[in-house]
Amino acid sequence: MATQLRILFVCMSPTEVEVLSRVLRKGGYEFKSELMDQPQQLPDMLNERFDLLMVDSLALHPELIETIFKSMRQKDLDIPVLVYSSASDEGVIVTAMKAGAHDFITSQNPQRLASAVKRELAAVKQRNTIRKEEQIDALQQEIDGLMLAGWDVAPIARHICEQAMTLCELKLAWIGGKQADGSVGVVAAAGDMDYLNKIEVRWDQGPYAQGPVGIAMNKRKAVLVKVDDPSFAPWRELAIQHGIGSALAVPMVVRDEIIGVLCMYTVCSDAFDAANIKRYAKFADKLAITLMLTQEHQQFRLLSVAINNATQAIFITKQDGKIVWFNHALSVISGYSAQEIMDSTPHLFSSGSYEPVFWEDMWRDILQGKLWNGDVLNRRKDGSLYSVLQSITPLYDEAGDITHFLCLQQDVSEKKELEQKIAYLAYHDMLTGLPNRTLFNDRMNQAITQAKRDQGQFSLLFIDLDGFKEVNDTLGHGAGDQLLQMVAERLRSCVREGDTVARLGGDEFIVLLRDVSSSVGLTNITQKIIERIAEKYELGEDLAYVTASVGISRYPRDAQLAERLLSCADEAMYIAKHAGKNRYALWDSSAPEEEYSDWQI
């Protein structure tokens, strides 16, 4: 099934729109698009939901990118912004990238659009996942705090339903309790109460027990149904009237006993994926503990069991830092036994990653009665590292003196790893793992700065594969991707550790050779690269052959600005390609073009 998108083309000609539309359709995308000609229309246009913004080369509207990102920040939107540019717009493109554009597509290589869209949409999805996890973590911390503050179950449950409506974009959220007569009573709810008041659900038997709620409670598993599923027949007509597309029911289990269910309804029929269901199951676990404790009518037991079953690590220390109480989660997260933790200090979990001043500042704050919050890298008993979001609250006696500290720790290791992955993808090509254009531009600017300081030199090799299109057309894109990965490895093997190999997109690569500028050195390295690329490629049962056209520019001989240096290498590459391919050409503004024809490897 093709990916469905909504695209806004900003200040682009109908011809450009048609070219890019063909590329996207060929890449497997189906989409609806709108064309906006006037930049002042942008804030109103962004009120609609778009998955992608395509922007012109900015020659007529140089402030357009800044306007776009300002409007998106005001509306809290995260939409990929891609610039479509001609090859002569390098300066404008650099400006656009600095202003925040995610990528640019040249008119010479529009086919790169499909892969760029795929990459940026994946990045948006990952960023949304991180934001959602952060919101869920914050709500879980809040629930723990409300429990510690002595709130009753009803207001806590109602608060959770209200927050779930906002965080998960729901039509209705409600918490049901298992009743002895086979019915499911509403404990708390938020959203479309008119629909909730008109439906009946049961857990024992009959048609009203065959929906998501009854099945979830009887089979002890999360159940997701769409309104057109047969099991949803008793409620379908009313659900359609209220604009409900799907429902998710998650059982609440305490001590191996079903005590209720968490129910969520949304307009979309595909809003719940595996990751969402896992997050919502955490809600259900938290509520199950809370409801069970309230039903037992023991406030002390409520506080004790809730803390010990909390997903956060919680512990209390004396003023000198010695741990005098902690919950089970601290032992689970850290790997230390209860005997090892009791009467020790939090230094037991120290990773050794911080300077003494970090802890001195923390102790100064909490001894002054201030609440302390921060990310801390800890070390488990087995030596592995983990990240926690930690808060420390001073506790006072009746005289107003600080006697103890309450510490809450939320394990955020997975979230940190995801953030690191997204940061990596922002500067690396997803297919080959090589630096992308953004990281390469940064490396080249660093090389220029160092060369100016040391009066040094370096060279660029602009590499374009000859015959790659035929591989894609005859063997398929999967084989083409495998070939590009093999080319990347061969290029890495041809250069030193301090050099940079990057993929600019499609079948274009760039190599930055530090301290290599002599003709002999360049000839040897370029010869090695061309020979390695020309070797056969075993792609499953098929063999493929490609060659390389290489253009070379040198700093500071050919240019002193990054954009011009790259342009010189690019132009030299085209000279090599026009001279017969499988060869290289050194940029020389004074040399007639026919001189390059003899430089074949």
Could you tell me what percentage of the chain is helix, strand and coil, using 3-state DSSP and rounding each to the nearest 5? 45, 25, 30
Same domain, 510 and 476: yes
Q: pLDDT tier at 444 (50, 70, 90 boundaries)?
A: very high
Residue 598's pLDDT is 41
Q: Is the pLDDT of residue 601 over 70?
A: no
121 inside domain: no
Domain boundary among 70, 92, 114: 114
Distances in whole angstroms, Cα of residue 327 to Cα of each of 116, 196, 307:
47, 38, 6
Q: pLDDT tier at 297 (50, 70, 90 boundaries)?
A: very low
Q: pLDDT tier at 568 (50, 70, 90 boundaries)?
A: very high
CA distance 183 to 193: 18
Residue 550 Ramachandran class (φ > 0 left, ψ -120 to 50 alpha, else beta): beta
Same domain, 320 and 176: no
Same domain, 215 and 323: no
Domain boundary among 97, 114, 131: 114
Q: pLDDT tier at 449 (50, 70, 90 boundaries)?
A: very high
Q: What is the CATH number of the domain that holds 239?
A: 3.30.450.40
Query: How far is residue 232 CA from its own chain's centroid?
Result: 35
Q: Is the dihedral of CA 228, 231, 236, 242 positive or negative?
A: negative
Q: Which range (20-34, 226-240, 285-299) has the least confidence?
A: 285-299
Contact 577, 462 (CB under 8 A): no
The model's pLDDT over 380-427, given as tens digits with 9 standing for 90+, comes to: 999 999 988 889 999 998 889 999 999 998 888 777 777 777 777 778
Residue 312's pLDDT is 82
Question: Phi first, then psi: what are they for 588, rounded to 5°?
Answer: -150, 105
The model's pLDDT over 81-120, given as tens digits with 9 standing for 90+, comes to: 888 876 555 666 666 677 677 887 777 788 888 888 888 8
Domain boundary among 384, 411, 438: 411
Instruction: Identify each DSSP E strand in 210-245 by its residue range.
Output: 223-226
Same domain, 407 and 478: no
Range(s) of the domain holding residue 379: 312-411
Residue 3's pLDDT is 57
Residue 591's pLDDT is 55
Q: Is the pLDDT of residue 303 over 60?
A: no
Predicted TM-score (pTM) of the model is 0.48
Residue 128's pLDDT is 80
Report the percent of the chain where pLDDT is more than 90: 42
Q: In the beta sheet, which residues pair with residue 350?
A: 378
Place of tokens 């240096």: 565
Distances in whole angstroms, Cα of residue 117 to Cα of each of 54, 418, 540:
10, 20, 28
455 inside domain: yes
Strands of 3-10's sheet in order across: 29-36, 3-10, 52-55, 81-85, 103-106
Q: pLDDT tier at 596 (50, 70, 90 boundaries)?
A: very low
CA distance 176 to 184: 6
Per-residue pLDDT, averaged over 18-35, amounts to 88
Residue 195's pLDDT is 95
223 inside domain: yes
Q: Which residue has the higher pLDDT, 492 or 152?
A: 492
Same domain, 295 and 352: no
Per-residue pLDDT, averaged over 523-540, amounts to 93
Residue 302's pLDDT is 46
131 inside domain: no
Same domain, 269 and 370: no
Same domain, 94 and 200: no
Per-residue pLDDT, averaged over 49-58, amounts to 81
Q: Which residue has the higher pLDDT, 200 or 254?
A: 200
When the pLDDT of each residue in the chain is averaged and rounded to a whole number, the result is 85
DSSP track, 182-199: SBEEEEEEEE-HHHHHH-
Same domain, 553 and 517: yes
Residue 142's pLDDT is 76
Strands of 372-379's sheet in order across: 323-326, 313-318, 402-411, 385-396, 372-379
Q: In the beta sheet, which residues pair with residue 392?
A: 372, 407
| Residues 466/521/562/436 CA torsion (nearest 10 deg) | 50
80 inside domain: yes
**Counting Cβ atoms within 10 Å, is residue 339 exposed (0-12), middle (13-18) or buried (19+)?**
exposed
**Counting Cβ atoms within 10 Å, is residue 419 exposed (0-12), middle (13-18) or buried (19+)?**
middle
63 inside domain: yes
Q: How many domains does the chain have?
A: 4
Question: Phi first, then psi: what are they for 446, rounded to 5°?
Answer: -65, -40
Q: pLDDT tier at 304 (50, 70, 90 boundaries)?
A: low
Q: What is the CATH number of the domain that holds 349?
A: 3.30.450.20
Instruction: Identify each DSSP E strand in 427-546 by its residue range.
Output: 458-466, 500-505, 508-514, 537-539, 542-544
Residue 86's pLDDT is 67
Residue 88's pLDDT is 56
Residue 74 neighbours by CB under 8 Å, 6+ apart? 43
